[in-house]
Structure 1
Amino acid sequence: MDNKDKTNNIKILRDEYGITQKNLGEVVGMSQQAIGKMETGKRRIPDDILRKLSDYFHVSTDFILNRTTSRTTIDVNNEIKKLIYENYSTLSEMQNFTLDEQRFIIQMIVNLKKLRK
């Protein structure tokens, strides 16, 4: 995946929030030009800026880097505990699944909840 593909969600998020490159630069401590270069893939996103963008837009760093279409990360352990507590009889077998299977199941449940709203 080239650098442009990894960074194209910055502009999408900025547009959704209705802010300019200059405004975003002020939020994360960078110039308008630096933001523009990151959006076009001409500049790598420094790790500290990536975290600031993630916090500001309330999305995962993986979403910003276009590694996933899911905007948030899931704390698997807390979600499993909550689901097991709420639905013990249905989910008591959850512990028999691999971590990847657990993540998949939780993501499916989260997505279904979003669809119902």
Structure 2
Amino acid sequence: MESRIKKLREKRGLIQAILAAELGITQQMLSKYERDTSTIKVDVLKELAKYFNVTTDYLLGLSDVKRDLTGQIKMNETIDEYYDLIEVYKKLDEYDQELVWTMMEAIKKNDEKRKREEK
């Protein structure tokens, strides 16, 4: 399980502290899950699967199939909706892709902060 959670997290460019906060757990607990030194709680497993749009079986290493049919349909709909944006992003060099990603993360954090303040 370590490699799958860690690989998915790193592929998204997330540090443990950010993903842990998204899941409502500590960074230390996420680290234990990634190293497979602690049994993952069912509710956390479900949240991870939902967050990364993968099956729980994939996260647990029981299957190499990342998404069931519903997950794949959702992924295809998202790709169709944002295809032009993806194509532009793919043509950027690694430095510019990282810059765009950093900007999107900053905008996301600002949006979340604004929503919390509105409540």
| Distance apart, 1:69 and its partner CA | 1.1
**Paired residues, number:** 71
Is 1:23 the counterpart of 2:13 in the alignment? no
Give the Cα–Cα distance (whole angstroms) in 1 for the partners of residues 69 and 39 of structure 2: 26
Deviation at 1:8, TM superposition (A): 2.7
Distance 1:8 1:65 in 2: 10
Query: Of residues 53, 71, 74 in structure 1, which corresponds to 2:48?
Result: 53
Segments of structure 1 that go 5 or more residues without pairing to the other structure are 1-5, 76-117
Structure 2: segments with no counterpart, 5+ residues: 71-119
- Deviations along 1:11-60, one digit per CA (max 9) or x if unpaired, are 01001111011011001111000000000011111000001001100111
TM-score by length of 1: 0.57
2:60 corresponds, among 65, 71, 84, to 65
Q: Which residue identity does 1:66 align to in structure 2?
A: G
Query: Once superposed, what is the RMSD of the aligned Cα atoms?
Result: 1.6
Using the size of structure 2 for normalisation, the TM-score is 0.56
Deviations 1:68-102 (A, max 9, x none): 11111136xxxxxxxxxxxxxxxxxxxxxxxxxxx
Q: Which residue of 2 aligns with 1:32?
A: 27
Report which of the two structures shows the higher radius of gyration computed on alpha carbons. Answer: 1
Higher relative contact order (CA 8 A, sep 6+): 1
* Structure 1 outlier segments of 4+, above 2 Å: none
User: In 1, Cα distance between the equivalents of 2:7 and 2:60?
Assistant: 12
